[in-house]
Copies of this chain bind each other. A is one copy, B any other.
Amino acid sequence: MSATNTDVSSALEPCGAPDHEDCGLSLILNRLGEKWTVMTLSELTVRPLRYRELERALDGITQRMLTLTLRRLERDGFLSRHVEPTVPPAVTYSLTERGRSFAELIAPLVHWSRLNKNSIEASQAAFDRRPAAMPWY
A→B interface (CB under 8 Å): 1-3, 9-18, 23-25, 27-30, 32-34, 38-39, 41-43, 45-46, 57-59, 74-77, 83, 85, 89, 98, 101-114, 116-117, 119-121, 123-124, 127-128, 135-137
Instruction: Give bound CA distance, A23 to B24, whole Å.
Output: 28
Whether A113 contacts B24 in the complex (CB less than 8 A), given A17-B39, A30-B33, A32-B33, comes out as yes
Tell me if B127 and A74 are in contact (CB < 8 A): yes
CB neighbours (8 Å) of A128 from chain B are 75
Tell me if B59 and A12 are in contact (CB < 8 A): no
Tell me if A13 and B33 are in contact (CB < 8 A): no
Whether A112 contacts B120 in the complex (CB less than 8 A), given A29-B38, A33-B29, A85-B136, comes out as no
